[in-house]
Chain A
């Protein structure tokens, strides 16, 4: 019944042309700010705002990066962010995997109620708990340490991550677990030796979310870290913008440096990232 020959081929070509035109237009639109960021980070002083705008800097100022790094201790800020992000990731992956396993596979009274509570906490605005949590950490002397930014992630890592892990564990076959249980393995052993390794794709997604989330986080480091030598990149960059208000090439260079780790991580591991987001979003079903 399909119309054959040249007519169909032509229609196919038109469809392809339309698809790629729209896709390329979309990509240019969405990526233009980042392209301009890179271009401006490499422009000589005073050339950031020339009219008409120039995409390719002349000359290309690679020196802007060392200049930005020596203007403020960006390396120190980056190291602080990296430490917080790494520990956040470790805590989130271990605890969300364990808790997600519990909610998916173990049977106990009150489980479904508690899981609904967990889901409900997703809508809780962070600022509501931030004030008393800040007071609590201040009272125990954790102000101006990384602990308030790291320790809470060892307690499940947040409702989205537990939810994601639980959804993944629900899809795994029960037979493996049953076999191990018959062999006398305990629950924690089954999780650690059998289930956690099988859930690596979901754990990878949690790891990427955690790292990127911690690296990008602004409000909590701003609240907890007053001492400059503890600032994260996000807090330091805010200060940098203030300090070098006219030097947009240096600000753009610093912003680009802050973006690079997450952009690279995303490009490497985007498959897990995207699958993780999709799995959380299909929660309605």
Chain B
């Protein structure tokens, strides 16, 4: 008799616990449902659709036709595909280091404990929040090869002038240089990391007679390495997706020298309505970004230092 009672009560307890768990699950999913629904509708669903479209020919006006691997085969022979890929890679290789080094330099400047530093922080960040289209117009004007103020200043200083955005050799380096003005996010991330380095480490190093350079290399850089990784990945992803500037200021020119990858996809998708080929190109971009991010994460285990010795996700 007593055994049976014990058994049933154990079962009820279990079922109560199970029901409570279910209720917790329901509540949790209800609260995150806006994101979950959005994820299905605007991320996962479109990704599947995009993967499907990449195997079709689709001009929007008639239904998609299955094309097998034709889009990918076409890519192999598409000269402009390689041009766009190379331009984008070359831009990223120049722009990311420029962003990281200059952002770190400005962050170190802004980390000095002097009066009025808040004003400088605001001023340094300001150019980064301004709209890309307005900036594209501004740089076209400033960098005008014949009459622009930048060349006028270079001439006045006795320095060589440049064709900037109007020559096939200088357009990509010029664009990479312009990223100097849009490093606000990287700068603030570095600044927060710099402020998180404990003073005791520097004090201990000073006791041992370390110079500023040694302190920077052996304390600052390892301590802020997670933020370097973060800025690197964000910078790389951003560089691979440059669009507005080249669409407005250079239209991919001169002679396709600034034909960037997303601009190339845009032209196929929204100017020529080749949705199938554009989707295939987009998936290639996604795979490239994914592979680079994964390589970077696995390499980072060797050079990124996480406090407490454990890696947080």
- The yes or no answer to B45 lying at the interface (CB within 8 A) is yes
The reply to whether A212 and B133 contact each other, CB–CB distance below 8 Å, is no
Question: Which of under 10, 10 to 19, 20 to 34, or 35 or more describes the interface residues of B?
Answer: 35 or more
List A contacts of B262 (CB < 8 A): 125, 127
Q: Which of B41, B126, B229 contacts A31 (CB 8 A)?
A: B126
Chain A residue at smallest Cβ distance from B148: A49
Q: Is B210 an interface residue (CB 8 A)?
A: no
Is A241 touching B149 in the complex (CB atoms < 8 A)?
no
Give the chain A neighbours of B133 by CB distance below 8 A: 216, 218, 234, 237-238, 255, 258
| Interface check B254, CB cutoff 8 A | no
For residue B66, CB closer than 8 A to chain A, the reply is no
Instruction: List the B side residues contacting A284 at CB < 8 Å.
Output: 226-227, 229-230, 304, 306, 312
Please provide the chain A residues from 127 to 157 with a CB less than 8 Å away from any CB of chain B in the complex. Answer: 127-136, 138, 152, 154-156
A136/B227 in contact, CB under 8 A: no
Chain A contacts for B46, CB-based, 8 A:
128-129, 131-133, 136
Q: Tell me if B106 is interfacial: C-beta within 8 Å of chain A.
A: yes
B245 to chain A, nearest CB (A): 10
Residue of B nearest to A117 (CB): B39
Q: Is the CB of B28 within 8 A of A127?
A: no
Shortest A123–chain B CB gap in Å is: 5
CB distance from A153 to the nearest CB of B (A): 9
B32 at the interface (CB under 8 A from A): yes
Knowing A252-B138, A281-B230, say if A187 contacts B27 (CB, 8 Å): yes
> Which chain A residues (237-279) contact chain B, with CB distance < 8 Å?
237-238, 241, 248, 251-252, 254-256, 258-259, 262-263, 266-267, 270, 273-274, 277-279
Q: Does B90 contact A (CB under 8 A)?
A: no
CB-CB contacts below 8 Å: A33-76 with B: 33-34, 36-37, 40, 48-49, 51-53
Cβ-closest chain B residue relative to A49: B147
Q: Are A23 and B24 in contact (CB under 8 A)?
A: no
Give complex CA distance A218, B37 in Å: 25
Give chain B nearest CB distance to A271 CB in angstroms. 9
For A36, list chain B residues within 8 Å (CB). 138, 142, 149
